[in-house]
Structure 1
Amino acid sequence: MVNIGQSQLRTEDFARIIYAQEELSLNEAALGQVSANYKFLKQFAANKLIYGINTGFGPMAQYKVSDENLLQLQYNLIRSHSSGSGNLIPPHLVRALMVARLNSFMQARSGVHPELVELLATLINKNITPCIYEHGGVGASGDLVQLAHLGLALIGEGEVHHEGKIHEAAELYASLGIKPLTIHAREGLAVLNGTSAMTGIGMTNIIRAEKLLQWSVLLSAMVNEVVEAYDDHFSYELNIVKLHRGQNEIGAQLREVLKDSKLIRNRTEHLYNPDNLDQEVFEDKVQEYYSLRCVTQVLGPIYDTIRQAEEVLVNELNSVNDNPVIDHDNQNVFHGGNFHGDYVSLEMDKLKIAITKLSMLSERQLNYLLNNKLNQKFPPFVNLGVLGLNFGMQGVQFTAVSTVAENQSLSFPMYVHSIPNNNDNQDIVSMGCNAALMTKKVIDNTFEVLTIQLMTILQAIDYLGCQEKLSSVSADVYQQVRAIFPKFVEDQPKYKDLKQVRAYLEQTDALTSIQQN
């Protein structure tokens, strides 16, 4: 069980809650601080003008709200902003959003009643997730529309997901004995005014991007194996003179995967031989194509980008990101813009650009294997049947190319795409939730591209009959994937194979395979 409020929530803690559906608990000391923070706000706001407590919201803040309408004000905010549209965000991403919002509240600077955090924890543990739509948030004043739908579910209205079905929140709560949230002071504004949608989705993007990078390293190693590439381009000596952490980490991983391969060639043995000097034209390529030879230089920046994004997103996950900030330690309330999502938006844009480049590398390696004029080693499209009659991997190449093209179009940054709104009160915004959702789409697409690459590599291995010469890591992957995607010669529809192999990539940790071998 993950304890929320005891210490900073780490990526691995977050993954356990979202992907392993591990339950969470609320730290008693932190819960006490939440209560103290709420009590301070109630006392402090009794005779003061405080935004969102006794004023309207946004450009309506110049209007004072009468005492008898203070609680209704919070309900009005939630209901009026529950205006999302488009596709529903998948339940596991909504769960991520809820964990991010809960963790922010447990910092005890939001002035919320403890009932709110306890209800959020209950819903997460029971795997009840509000129906929240993709479209609506501009990422300033927080993810207002997405979080409004969270607020709607908390007060027992709207719809929720539970056990694979959509239910009316009020009906499901009644059947499970769950009491909806009662507004006490500013719970409506506190729920809406934060970066938790973009942050929760962004955290899942980082976890999945890390998995993609691991697979890209492993598949790049396998491509180098089947074409019998030289070993110096991923050597320690070559890479250490380039002073980037990512490049050297990728080089180390490649060396670990390929340490017992019988296919990778040593340049000293094969090309530094005086006998080669008698040849006018060398049969062997002196250097491989860039997509094979520059793996450390291409994947290195992607490694660094993921690490940077993780640091920023974990900081945001553990931050107070609403407005105003209720500081019971200093006995004051501070107004500002901690709800602004620029930190997350920029990192999501950088991440999606990096993952798009990863998909481009995969597509180029795939093209090398499929184009016999380039590799001079395999039949066209790694066709194991009759040339002209059969088609091998020809059909799925179209899928890979079109998917990479979509990634390239999606890589336009949202961070610089601010549109003023809210009567120009929000005159510069982050579009952070859009950025996170687009990054998710790029990651989804890239799993599809790597799936096609892996299937092609296996066909190439079978054409060569080189299974016994593979590294132990590559051989292990070959055996596992061949169990769900058998070698084929005659043409058959491939869409079901694509789905199964993609599920394998999503569910299997490539780095674990490397470390175990």
Structure 2
Amino acid sequence: MDRLTLDGTGLSCAGVHAAAHGRVEVVAGPAGRARAAWATARELTGPVYGRGTGVGANKDVAVEHGGHDLLRSHACGAGPPVPPERARAMLTVRLNQLLAGGAGVDPEVLPVLAYAINAGFTPPVRTYGAIGTGDLTALATTALCLLGELPWHTPPSPSQAPLFPLAPEDALPFISSGAATLADAAIACHRLRELLDAAVGVAALSFTAAGASAEPLAAAVQEARPHPGQAAVAERLRALHAPGPPARVQDPYGFRAFAQVHGAVLDVLGRAEQTVETDLNAATENPLISGSLAWHNGNFHSAPVALAFDALRAALVQTAQLGTARLATLMDPAHTGGLPFLADRPGASGAMILEYVAQDALAELRHLATPVTTGTAVISLGTEDHAGFATQAARQALRCVEPYEIVLACERVAATRALDGPTPDRPLTRDLDAALSALRTPSTS
């Protein structure tokens, strides 16, 4: 098994996805910055948020040895349990953040977190409990598992539970992170990139089945409007699609504007990945332990991630809409030369039902594209008067994977049928399942 060595600087979305699914062994790398921050934190004097004070509206209340009570009070959540792979991704992200330095948490916890990830232990985190200003409920639950006050979700084979005597003063620093949100965001980026890449191959099948012109893909066209995503899509599609003489002067937008729309989605995805990977390797701690001081700040705020993922989900709808448009074109004898709906005889329904399935999935994508960044929340007696809702933006991006897969699978089945020839009417569920399986290879969502 390959190793993923974390050092607080080089964690990628692909790395988070690999760790989440147990495809790499996670190793805690050099902990120099974490040790330096811990040493500084132990020497701090004066009021430091969460270390010697309460939190939220209690920020001005001096407390002593209340850190474990903070964990107990914040270990709350609702809804279904987070799947093990997402919880494992959260542990990976938090481990990497702690290695970046700035938290001031005892660095001896780092190998314990790595052990938990590799041995298959995950905290019993619930779905609901964060608004994009820190995943306090999920990480408080994790901390209580380390303390032995809550049970870990255990791996199939018996192993020693990962326990660590987290000090009371390390309670707030350990949970002051958006690690769960970033984990979801990283997994979503990775899966959507795989699907967007697969979509070019599906579109190539449709181009061939419909006899679509390659003229819109020409290098001269891309050079006239040099968006990088557009150029990349056109270049790849040119390599996959070897057309004969154009059947029409101009094809519908599903073909003619595919490179422009799909390329724009790739550009948006690239910006989202850059935003996520910046935060995966950033010290988003509050307070930030740097130099000899504790810096109270707002680095935990998730506005960049929320904005990037609102844009990504909206962009995904655009390319999915073109997919359903190509699917509709494949049902049209004017473009395929066959019978309506790719039927084998007049009056048969053929592949008609694929449009219903695809439009159902597209409707779900449109619903999931509703922006989260137009809302906010005021909590804790007004002390916390804004929220980014990146948690919801990332969660909805993860939920986009399934309906987008379905749109692509419907197009793939129709294009394959158009190329291979019609067959008598029969249930198409197995065809869709096979197409979905092909789209998910080699990754598992």
Shorter-normalised TM-score: what interval? Answer: over 0.9
1:182 and 1:240 map into 2 onto residues whose CA distance is 60
Tell me, yes or no, if the aligned pair for 2:336 and 2:418 is still in contact at 8 Å: no
Please list every run of 5 or more consecutive structure 1 residues that lacks an aligned counterpart in the other structure: 165-171, 268-283, 465-487, 510-517
Q: Does 1:246 align with 2:246?
A: no
Q: How does 1:445-460 map to 2 (within 5 A)?
A: 445-460=403-418
Aligned residue pairs total 441
CA shift for structure 1 position 266? 4.2
Q: Partner residue of 2:438? A: 504
CA shift for structure 1 position 161? 3.3
2:267 and 2:338 map into 1 onto residues whose CA distance is 35
Q: Does 1:305 align with 2:298?
A: no
Q: Does 1:315 align with 2:315?
A: no
AA partner of residue 321 (structure 1): T
Q: Partner residue of 1:77? A: 70
TM-aligned CA distance change 1:153 to 1:314, over 3 Å: same
Post-superposition Cα deviations, 1:67-111, rounded to whole Å, max 9, x if no partner, equal xxx1xx222222212221122222112211111111100012101
1:79 and 1:495 map into 2 onto residues whose CA distance is 48
Post-superposition Cα deviations, 1:421-441, rounded to whole Å, max 9, x if no partner, equal 222222110111111001111
Match of 2:19 among 17, 21, 32: 17
Q: How does 1:339-418 map to 2 (within 5 A)?
A: 339-372=300-333, 375=335, 377-384=337-344, 386-388=345-347, 390-418=348-376
Tell me, yes or no, if the aligned pair for 1:95 and 1:129 is still in contact at 8 Å: yes
SS of 1:2 mapped into structure 2: strand
Match of 2:220 among 234, 237, 246: 237
Tell me, yes or no, if the aligned pair for 1:382 and 1:392 is still in contact at 8 Å: yes
Q: Does 1:126 align with 2:119?
A: yes
Post-superposition Cα deviations, 1:288-323, rounded to whole Å, max 9, x if no partner, equal 001111111111111111111111111110001121
Match of 1:53 among 39, 51, 54: 51
TM-score, length-scaled by structure 1: 0.81
Tell me, yes or no, if the aligned pair for 1:352 and 1:443 is still in contact at 8 Å: no
AA partner of residue 370 (structure 1): M
Match of 2:244 among 265, 285, 289: 265
2:201 and 2:169 map into 1 onto residues whose CA distance is 50
2:143 and 2:352 map into 1 onto residues whose CA distance is 50
Q: Partner residue of 1:208? A: 191
Q: Partner residue of 1:189? A: 172
2:73 and 2:351 map into 1 onto residues whose CA distance is 52
1:347 and 1:155 map into 2 onto residues whose CA distance is 36
CA shift for structure 1 position 122? 0.7
Q: Does 1:143 align with 2:135?
A: yes
Match of 2:297 among 330, 336, 351: 336
Larger CA Rg, structure 1 vs 2: 1
1:496 and 1:130 map into 2 onto residues whose CA distance is 36
TM-aligned CA distance change 1:253 to 1:179, over 3 Å: closer
Post-superposition Cα deviations, 1:129-170, rounded to whole Å, max 9, x if no partner, equal 222222110111x12223333223332343543447xxxxxx
Tell me, yes or no, if the aligned pair for 2:14 and 2:187 is still in contact at 8 Å: no
Tell me, yes or no, if the aligned pair for 2:406 and 2:436 is still in contact at 8 Å: yes
2:297 and 2:114 map into 1 onto residues whose CA distance is 28
Tell me, yes or no, if the aligned pair for 1:323 and 1:338 is still in contact at 8 Å: yes
C-alpha RMSD over aligned residues: 2.1
Please list every run of 5 or more consecutive structure 2 residues that lacks an aligned counterpart in the other structure: none
TM-aligned CA distance change 1:255 to 1:64, over 3 Å: same
Post-superposition Cα deviations, 1:429-476, rounded to whole Å, max 9, x if no partner, equal 011111100111112210111111111111111128xxxxxxxxxxxx
Tell me, yes or no, if the aligned pair for 2:40 and 2:293 is still in contact at 8 Å: no
Q: Partner residue of 2:41? A: 41
2:220 and 2:343 map into 1 onto residues whose CA distance is 38
CA shift for structure 1 position 12? 3.9
Q: Does 1:428 align with 2:362?
A: no
Q: Which runs of 4+ in 1 moved over 6 A?
A: none
TM-aligned CA distance change 1:86 to 1:40, over 3 Å: same
CA shift for structure 1 position 415? 1.7
Post-superposition Cα deviations, 1:150-194, rounded to whole Å, max 9, x if no partner, equal 223332343543447xxxxxxx9xx62235221224332123211
AA partner of residue 123 (structure 2): P
CA shift for structure 1 position 20? 5.3
Q: Does 1:489 align with 2:427?
A: no
